[in-house]
A and B are shown apart, each in its own frame.
Chain A
Amino acid sequence: AQSVSQHNHHVILSEAASLELGCNYSYGGTVNLFWYVQYPGQHLQLLLKYFSGDPLVKGIKGFEAEFIKSKFSFNLRKPSVQWSDTAEYFCAVNKLFSGNTGKLIFGQGTTLQVKP
């Protein structure tokens, strides 16, 4: 079945460490790609998205992600994490084909814990 895989389920980092969260999808066609974040007690918020063009996408709060089509990957990165980045991160894919309604297919999420 077509799916989205997030390899890291729980990541613990110290402040100032670099972050990379993996995301792979199994759909071979054209896709839009998203990273959403859910801070404790808050709702899902868009972190960044890729539709077309430059495969290196910059989002809010210093996050960026790189779309590598040949690897079906869209990994999220941040050079230096802060305690306030503690949250759950979800990768999501919107498959673009005729008749698709735009529904998102989510990975199972990665819990990031940043130690002060």
Chain B
Amino acid sequence: GAGVSQSPRYKVAKRGQDVALRCDPISGHVSLFWYQQALGQGPEFLTYFQNEAQLDKSGLPSDRFFAERPEGSVSTLKIQRTQQEDSAVYLCASSLPSRGDTQYFGPGTRLTVL
């Protein structure tokens, strides 16, 4: 496909479970971003990759959040021991390498922690 894809689209987890969210960026896009969007709010930055290198993880809210992009393409955001406050939509965006380039967003994964 031509756009950013994410899976699953919806995830329900019991508190304490681990979850893994996947992002397939646009082919050739070097930059990949993860954002968290709480209900009624704008997206908030979590982490950034340039190819396989995680260059900025300043937005990760706790050490329960972990992201990787081992081959510089697909990325996975993992949340360990999920808490209710982790409930949100997790958005992935990709772009060309210039830091001002347009970011193209995926449809997001809506995570609900019970």
Contacts and interface: CB of A to CB of B under 8 A. Distances in A.
Interface stretch (A12-20, A74-82, A99-107): A99-107
B95 to A, nearest CB: 7
B43 A43 contact: no
A21 B36 CA distance: 23
A58 to B, nearest CB: 15
A44 B55 CA distance: 24
B101 interface: yes
Interface residues of A, number: 25
A43 B106 contact: yes
A95 B17 CA distance: 36
Given A43-B108, A102-B95, A103-B33, A32 B100 contact: yes
B43 A103 contact: no
B33 A90 contact: no
Interface residues of B, number: 30
Interface in B54-85: 55-56, 59
A46 interface: yes
A106 B43 contact: yes
Contacts of A45: 105
A96 B42 contact: no
B101 A102 contact: yes
Given A44-B91, A103-B33, A94 B99 contact: yes
B18 interface: no
Given A43-B108, A49-B102, A96-B99, A101 B43 contact: no
Contacts of A44: 43, 91, 93, 105
Contacts of A51: 100
Leading 4 A-B pairs by shortest Cβ distance = A106-B42, A102-B99, A44-B105, A103-B45
10 contacts: A42-B107, A45-B105, A51-B100, A90-B42, A96-B100, A101-B31, A101-B48, A101-B50, A102-B95, A108-B41
